[in-house]
Structure 1
Amino acid sequence: MDGAQFMNARDVKTVADAKRIVQERGIDYVKVGIFDVDGIMRGKYMSREKFFSALDGGFGFCDVVLGWDSNDQLYDSATYTGWHTAYPDAPVRIIPESCRELPMEENSILFLGEFEEKAETVCPRGVLRRVLDRADKMGLKATAACEFEFFVFDETPESVREKNYKDLENITPGFFGYSMLRNSVHSEFYHDLLNLCTEMDMPIEGLHTETGPGVLEAALAHDDALSAADKASLFKTFTKILCQRQGWMATFMAKWSGEYPGQSGHIHISLANKDGSSAFHDTSKTNNMSDTMRHFIGGQQALMPEILAMVACTVNSYSRLIPGYWAPTEATWSVDNRTTALRAIPGGEKSQRVEYRIAAADINPYIALAAAIGSGLWGIENKIEPTAPVEGNAYEKKFPAKLQLPQTLYEAAGRLRKSKAAQDLFGKDFVEHFAQSREWEEREFRKAITSWEMERYFEII
């Protein structure tokens, strides 16, 4: 009808609302997506009838998406699922309040889902919810925001394969950090991205060029931690979609080139009390840091070597964690110092927070947030005192062995598997499943012969 006021997608809160918006808009097929262990969005179009049925009673999604890697290759040692279980359907519930516009598709909307029952134990969104339930029982609420650096290339999925991922063309040359020149020349793309993120309720607080050819940094607005993870996951997915629709490609690898610094995915976290007041802010303490904030940092620092695989989750992650490239190499912390793994940011009641700087752009936001928040809660529960804060350049200092981080994904996965704290925080099933998936990832890497090996050994050895 002319002038009819249809329901806004972000006003959908209930099953009834979800049905109403589909009926009002005359939508025949609804897009439904779910994020897997690697943070990759898997999904499908659902007919209206099937979608309504799924809203009422859930639907089955082949659990192979929890039993394969980012290249759709089946894990060889998973116990949750595999050939021994014959890859049955796992129950999934649709999250009505996740409804979003799909501006790039005519008269279309998106809903997120999450696994239920046994599958929930290894579901990335499920593990974060369990951590946040723990916070709630402690009388605390976590808010968070992610910021991502990503390189953009004047390439297509076909051209990068034809070039064997070598000699790729960035959208702009040179370094040009915070460049008004670059963001003005490509202002149409910047505004397309800003508008897309606003329309899909994952608003960007700041967007600028970083140091490197064709690299951007986007800081997402803060929200409650579960919503922040949804938004971060959707941001990575739809930024790549927007670029490819333009004939470009964006990468969120931790490090795509040895010539440039890695790509960060820093996480900002704060805790509030039940009454809404900051649990981190105390004007009677040094740097306004409450005891709760200090113990939160203490837990993050103490457990970082044990849970690093949940944050540095790819083989490539460890190419970034080297001295002098704006990435930390030990479980260190500081006050407003960007050379450490954790950065306490003093401020007012609303801005006091911790920046979890160990994270790169390749994170699965659900799992990385679960690790960052869960380890901090463990610190509060056990009143863990952090070391003295680092002053000056952390790269030039020596630190005790207990603060050293694993050097490979395989080592990190082994540390995670043995961590009693991780099992308590995230569940034994998740820890075992995720650890085996990371060990698989490194074993797959070891099968590869890299160009470095060919260039170094082919002739001379």
Structure 2
Amino acid sequence: MNPRDVKTIADAKQIVKERELTHVKVGLFDNDGVMLGKYMSRDKFFSSLEGGFAFCDVVLGWDVKDQLYDNAKYTGWHTGYPDAPVRIIPSSCRELPFEDGGMLLFLAEFDQAASEICPRGTLQRVLAQGKEMGFDAFAALEYEFFLFDETPASIREKGFRNLKPFTPDWMGYSIIRNTVHSDLYHQILKLGETMDFPIEGLHTETGPGVLEAAIAVDDASAAGDKGALFKTFMKVLAQRNNLMATFMAKWSKDYPGQSGHIHLSLRHRKGKLKGKSAFYDAEQKHNMSKLQRHFLAGQQRLMPEFLCMVAPTLNSYRRLIPGFWAPTHATWGVENRTTSLRVIPGSEKSQRTEYRLGSADGNPYLALSAALASGLYGIMQEWEPEEEIVGNSYEQEHPSELALPTTLWEAAQRFKASKAARTMFGDAFVEHFAASREWEEREFRKHISDWELDRYFEII
């Protein structure tokens, strides 16, 4: 049996038996999009397929350095960090090409009360609201990432300074680079095919050692899984080649930031329009249907309120500065890459919006949730977008209400106060995720930077 043919619990059991596996790997994703998991014995796996299993909920209550939040209500020392129920998703079965013996990977997600703050569960709730409104959502994620000729040990020995990029100079879309290093490129492409996140396009971007990968479109639930798996296993592949990949939003002040763009479209679920694009209307300007305009308006109006879901780290805000291919206001344009939202006119099949604001460090489940939920809310409210931006958005004045928060703390406060966020994601998620971003900001405030030492140590 092929892993892609696994759909049910019975299928999952069958493929494990066929491969005579004694163990399988099971993984899930935390607030920051970090994949966590373990090897599980076959008997335990079979039992968990039927009734779920327990996973310590501390993984929903700590940061990327395993430091415990002190401000979260859902879990903490006050709850004793109990186990939370988790369910395995049979249809998520993947081949693990790096491990001998036909090893398989299955994704899992938190269940019951924990599902209210689980990133994958959050996306599922948004998609369910879309379905109730009569829409199926489709998405394609794109990621830029830098490769370095370094190892986890060497970057720490160097104190993260004077790192050697995989390739030198600024050579975007370079045939020289992807031919000289074609072995690595083919490994990346093959990984995407084997693990079912097929890559539609792969090329060098502007900057030393930076690549961009565009993952093929799929229904939005699968697109979230594919984005999260791509980021995880791109890092694995790089390290197995004695390289390192980073998805930091901006690792150096000297180079452009790294984006995580999201292409989105809706299709009707039922009636005589079933399967047809909800965004395409050939009789309207730019082929934009009324529904696409409402969707776009929701994305635009709620971008400042939902920003911490798509720009979730302190480093995200280093990227959101003028002139570096990252917008600072919630703007839109047609085929305009200086705006936050890019309308891409096309056929009934290809008409879509591109949510360009997102950075590569975002949790794919949450960034996709924010981009989709804001659009759906716009349809609910029948909002209309602001005027289309023509020309260089960076050089134009924009209404103050379209300005984006400039710090993670400010973004978390806007999110926490958002009525739309609570409607689309639920109070439990909003409170927990906002608290986790506040924690991240407070951890940063404890840090004494090289800039401060150089600026103040002697002279003040």
Per the alignment, residue 17 of structure 2 pairs with 23
1:58 lines up with 2:58 in the alignment = no
Distance (Å, rounded) in 2 between the aligned partners of 1:203 and 1:451 = 41
Shift of 1:228: 0.2
List per-residue Cα deviations over 1:323-357 (Å, max 9, x = no partner).
Answer: 00000000111111000100000000111000000
Shift of 1:458: 2.1
List per-residue Cα deviations over 1:81-101 (Å, max 9, x = no partner).
Answer: 000100000000000000000
Distance (Å, rounded) in 1 between the aligned partners of 2:459 and 2:141 = 46
* Contiguous gaps of at least 5 residues in structure 2: none
- Map 1:137-216 onto structure 2 (within 5 A): 137-216=132-211
List per-residue Cα deviations over 1:117-154 (Å, max 9, x = no partner).
Answer: 00000000111101000110111010001000000000
Whichever residue aligns with residue 392 of structure 1, its letter is G
Select which of 247, 252, 264 maps to 1:269.
264
Shift of 1:459: 2.3
Select which of 4, 22, 30 maps to 1:10.
4
Whichever residue aligns with residue 109 of structure 2, its letter is E
Find runs of 4+ consecutive structure 1 residues off by over 3 angstroms: none
Shift of 1:453: 1.6
Q: SS at the partner of 1:105?
A: coil
Distance (Å, rounded) in 2 between the aligned partners of 1:455 and 1:357 = 35
Distance (Å, rounded) in 1 between the aligned partners of 2:28 and 2:141 = 19
Shift of 1:460: 2.5
Whichever residue aligns with residue 398 of structure 1, its letter is E
Shift of 1:19: 0.5
* Contiguous gaps of at least 5 residues in structure 1: 1-6
Distance (Å, rounded) in 2 between the aligned partners of 1:357 and 1:226 = 20
Q: What is the aligned length? A: 455
Shift of 1:361: 0.5
Distance (Å, rounded) in 2 between the aligned partners of 1:25 and 1:257 = 46
Q: SS at the partner of 1:97?
A: helix
- Map 1:176-325 onto structure 2 (within 5 A): 176-274=171-269, 275-325=274-324
List per-residue Cα deviations over 1:237-257 (Å, max 9, x = no partner).
Answer: 000000001110000000000
Per the alignment, residue 92 of structure 2 pairs with 98
Shift of 1:65: 0.3
Shift of 1:454: 1.8
Shift of 1:400: 1.2
List per-residue Cα deviations over 1:41-98 (Å, max 9, x = no partner).
Answer: 0000001111111001000000000000111000011000000100000000000000
Distance (Å, rounded) in 2 between the aligned partners of 1:53 and 1:458 = 60
Per the alignment, residue 334 of structure 2 pairs with 335
Whichever residue aligns with residue 150 of structure 2, its letter is E
Per the alignment, residue 349 of structure 1 pairs with 348
Q: SS at the partner of 2:92?
A: strand
Whichever residue aligns with residue 21 of structure 1, its letter is I
Task: Give the % identical residues.
Answer: 65
Q: What's the TM-score once normalised by structure 2's chain length?
A: 0.98
Distance (Å, rounded) in 2 between the aligned partners of 1:458 and 1:210 = 38
Per the alignment, residue 119 of structure 1 pairs with 114
Q: SS at the partner of 1:257?
A: coil
Root-mean-square deviation (CA, aligned residues, Å) is 0.6
List per-residue Cα deviations over 1:411-457 (Å, max 9, x = no partner).
Answer: 00000000011000000000000000000001001111112222222
